[in-house]
């Protein structure tokens, strides 16, 4: 994936989720088609930690099923960094085992200026993925 498109309202949703969960890491799944996100599924962080997240397998299974029914693909896995910059931690890189998804991270390190970035992580190699945020994205459908 060379870039990922996020509608403005989905972008605002993930940042709002990050703020709501802080100081715990927020996490969730973004689904859509052809690099274009359509829906955000917020998930519980069963780790309840500021430095890790762990998705509940049951909740994840339910969401995967719902995505299949709606003809949506998993495009990105989101989590927040309450206190650290918006780049994958060593653990994030190690745990990035889902192929073909973008890892989205929102940092609340500077709480008034949240930073959101996307990465492709494959076999320990981290490549930034440009985020396209906006309302114009629907024009290209
Ligand atoms: Zn992380």
Residue-wise pLDDT for 48-82, tens only, equals: 999 999 999 999 999 999 999 999 999 999 999 99
Q: How much distance in Å is there from the Cα of 140 to the middle of ligand 1?
A: 32
Residues with Cβ–ion distance below 5 A, ligand 1: 89, 92
pLDDT of 1? 66
- Distance between Cα 60 and ligand 1 center (Å): 18
Q: How far is the CA of 126 from the centre of ligand 1 (A)?
A: 13
What does the pLDDT read at residue 7?
A: 96
Distance 52 CA to ligand 1 centre (A): 6
- Reported as a single tens digit per residue, the pLDDT across 100-114 is 999 999 999 999 999
Distances, alpha carbon 28 to alpha carbons 44, 56, 80, 140, 141, in Å: 8, 10, 9, 26, 24
106 CA from centroid of ligand 1 (Å): 9
CA 112 to centroid of ligand 1, rounded, Å: 19
pLDDT band at 115 (very low <50, low <70, confident <90, very high): very high
Is the pLDDT confidence value at 22 over 80? yes
CA 24 to each of CA 14, 17, 19, 35, 104: distance values in angstroms, whole numbers, following the listed order: 14, 11, 9, 28, 16
CATH 3.40.140.10 holds for 4-134: yes
Judge whether residue 138 has pLDDT over 70. no
Q: Bridge partners of 118?
A: 104, 129
Instruction: Please state the pTM of the whole predicted model.
Output: 0.93
At residue 99, the pLDDT reads 86
């Amino acid at each position: 994936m060379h870039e990922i498109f996020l509608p403005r309202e989905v972008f605002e949703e993930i940042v709002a989720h990050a703020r709501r969960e802080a100081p715990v890491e927020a996490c969730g799944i973004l689904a859509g088609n052809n690099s274009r996100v359509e829906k955000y599924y917020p998930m519980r962080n069963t780790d309840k930690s500021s430095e890790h997240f762990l998705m509940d397998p049951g909740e994840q299974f339910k969401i995967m099923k719902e995505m299949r029914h709606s003809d949506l693909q998993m495009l990105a896995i989101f989590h927040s960094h309450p206190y650290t910059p918006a780049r994958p931690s060593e653990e994030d890189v190690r745990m990035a085992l889902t192929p073909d998804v973008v890892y989205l991270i929102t940092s609340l390190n500077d709480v008034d200026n949240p930073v959101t970035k996307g990465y492709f992580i494959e076999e320990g190699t981290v490549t930034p993925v440009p985020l396209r945020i906006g309302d114009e994205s629907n024009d290209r459908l």
